[in-house]
Chain A
Amino acid sequence: MSVLVYTENWDGKFKKISFELASYAVALAEQMKVPAVALSLGKVDETELKKLGNYGIESIMSDTNENYIGLDNQAIAKAVAIAAEKAGANVILIAHSNLGKAIAPRLSIKLKAGLVTAIHGLPLSLQPFTVLKNVFTNKAVGKVLVHAEKKVLTLAANSFGSQENIVTTIINHFDAGLSNTDFATKIEQTNKVTGKVLLSDADIVVSGGRGMKGPENWAPLEELAELLGAGTACSRPVSDEGWRPHSEHVGQTGKMIAPNLYFAFGISGAIQHLGGVSSSKVIVAVNKDPEAPIFEAADYGIVGDVFKVIPQFIEAVKEIKS
């Protein structure tokens, strides 16, 4: 028996969530008293693979088939299933990322495993296997029992954190034996967001709503984000109006994020907006309306004008950085 953790990479570099996932896998394996094994699919070199050893992973299965770059849902699910059989895994951990959401359900069917997505925290009990996940779009928490012997779990991003724990790692070459016909997704074009902090990876997110009045007013917000090394986000109407790209839209019908710190500038705090951001550890709201519902979700707030507040924030951040 073992815990198998599927670590995602992009262009040969592990994604931030892979280290969080590795940390979780190691903690879960310890709780279950079984080994944790990491699986890496795609061209990832040895130096990069060894980074998993900084998070407690002692054993890695690496299949360097280049075709995985196409992110074919069926092929990746098949490869993970083969690896899970080989590793004798009874728990398979996957990120609750775009790719993780795509493959986990397929994998659960292949393994006849119980699937629980977007879990947070270690199991409350192993017998029966009990985990927590948010439901009703972050409005409530559910305690889920898994009755099947095998489990496929996806971990909510930023819910566990990465924990350094340096060990030596053994890399085992693994070949899932997939052929070219397994890969049906034909990539025509990739638009990779570069040079910016990815929203899903960001520890701090600076977000603006309709109270920002127009796209021409985003410069101070972007300056603040840059100083903080933060990602930028927005409310739905802001992306609907084309003030900001759709990729920045957070909320129930946009991205769900859970950074350590979320700044909401000129956002009223509609329930659908909060659904996507309320798992943030600390929320700061700036709104000129003292009755705005965002203040009920916020930890810190200023009733005031965003255009007066943001410059002061920028000044203060510069002070603490110098």
Chain B
Amino acid sequence: MKILVLIGNVPDTTTKIKFNSEKTALDASGVQWIINPWDELALTRAMELKENSAGAIEMVVVATVGRQETEATLRKALAIGADKAIRIDTEPKDGFYVASQLAPVAGGYDLIFAGIEASDYNGAAVGGMLAELLGIHSISSVSGLQLEGGQITINREIDGGSQTVKMTTPLMAIVQKGIAKEPRIPAMRGIMMARSKPLEVIPAIEVDVLTSFESFSLPPAKAACKKVPEDQAKTLIYMLRDEAKVL
């Protein structure tokens, strides 16, 4: 059995977002790049599954669509424990472009993990698109996944509750909070080993871009917070009714 984990390379969650002077692209100066938080949890879960599988899971592969600078992120994924990394050498454009680049390398896996969304452009697209391109089943908002034989037991969030469901392989699991408790931190040994693990670079294919960002803007600055003294807290509720008109 083989598992593929899709890895997005995104600015650290605390990054102060700035754009270039034309407001057409992110100003990446000083940005720290990390594995998209959901993908890091997915990879953690994939490693746990492999370790508990008594050899049934032969390998965990990670794949990213990105330029050379994303290799640091892939090396981190290898250090966490992935056996092999694949990088498709192109600038990610929209979700369709990324999913189409991944499709030729994503065949033949029993289980593929994607995150529910990447924290850069919040596309919430690639996992579902890739499943459709591969013609395999997908299940989204996955907050837990257990493997037994060929059977997969999934916990997923539904709107207003949660469910336990059974699925079969091949499957695209689109994951969110809960899939693993804490992301695994690479150990020294893992970092050393990552250097000698395979990182395959594949050229991009020609794909149409269906959507594009024309420009970006920062939300308008908020007006200063209106403060009410602690002992007059009640007046704040009246302000919400009479001034803000939200009660």
Q: Are A186 and B124 in contact (CB under 8 A)?
A: no
For A192, the chain B residues whose CB sits under 8 A away are 160-161
One of A33-41, A45-53, A168-176, A277-285 contacting the partner: A277-285
* Separation of A235 and B16 alpha carbons in the complex (Å): 21
Is B54 interfacial (CB-CB < 8 Å)?
Answer: no
Q: Are A115 and B210 in contact (CB under 8 A)?
A: yes
Q: A105 and B125 in contact (CB under 8 A), knowing A141-B216, A142-B213, A299-B223?
A: yes
CB distance from B240 to the nearest CB of A (A): 7
* Separation of A298 and B222 alpha carbons in the complex (Å): 8
Q: Are B141 and A74 in contact (CB under 8 A)?
A: no
Is B174 interfacial (CB-CB < 8 Å)?
Answer: yes
Q: Are B138 and A102 in contact (CB under 8 A)?
A: yes
Label chain B's interface by main secondary structure. Answer: mixed
Is B81 interfacial (CB-CB < 8 Å)?
Answer: no
* Separation of A118 and B212 alpha carbons in the complex (Å): 15
CB distance from B1 to the nearest CB of A (A): 19
Chain A interface, number of residues (Cβ within 8 angstroms): 97
Q: Are B215 and A143 in contact (CB under 8 A)?
A: yes
CB distance from A195 to the nearest CB of B (A): 11
Q: Are A296 and B246 in contact (CB under 8 A)?
A: no
For A142, the chain B residues whose CB sits under 8 A away are 121, 213, 215-216
Smallest Cβ-Cβ distance to B136: which chain A residue = A74
For A320, the chain B residues whose CB sits under 8 A away are 237-238, 241, 247
* Separation of A97 and B132 alpha carbons in the complex (Å): 19
One of B42-50, B165-173, B191-199 contacting the partner: B165-173
CB distance from A77 to the nearest CB of B (A): 7
* Separation of A38 and B15 alpha carbons in the complex (Å): 41
**Pick the contact of B233 from A10, A74, A275, A302 — CB < 8 Å?**
A302
Is A300 interfacial (CB-CB < 8 Å)?
Answer: yes
Q: A297 and B222 in contact (CB under 8 A), knowing A135-B216, A188-B153, A253-B177?
A: yes
For B34, the chain A residues whose CB sits under 8 A away are none
For B116, the chain A residues whose CB sits under 8 A away are 101
**Pick the contact of B211 from A98, A104, A146, A200 — CB < 8 Å?**
A146
- 19 CB contacts below 8 A, A to B, read A96-B124, A102-B128, A135-B213, A140-B17, A144-B212, A188-B153, A190-B163, A192-B160, A198-B159, A198-B160, A254-B177, A299-B226, A300-B236, A304-B230, A313-B236, A316-B234, A316-B238, A317-B247, A320-B241
Q: Which residues of B contact A (CB under 8 A)?
A: 11, 13-15, 17, 19, 37-38, 94-96, 99, 116-117, 119-129, 131-133, 137-141, 143, 153, 156-168, 174, 177-178, 208-219, 222-223, 225-231, 233-241, 244, 246-247
Q: Which residues of A contact B (CB under 8 A)?
A: 8, 10, 15, 70-74, 77, 96-99, 101-106, 108-110, 113-118, 130, 133-148, 154, 184-193, 198, 200-201, 204, 228, 246-247, 249, 252-254, 260-261, 271-272, 275, 278, 281-282, 284-285, 295-305, 308-309, 312-313, 315-317, 319-320
5 A-B pairs with the lowest CB-CB distances in the bound complex, closest first: A105-B128, A304-B230, A102-B140, A316-B237, A312-B233
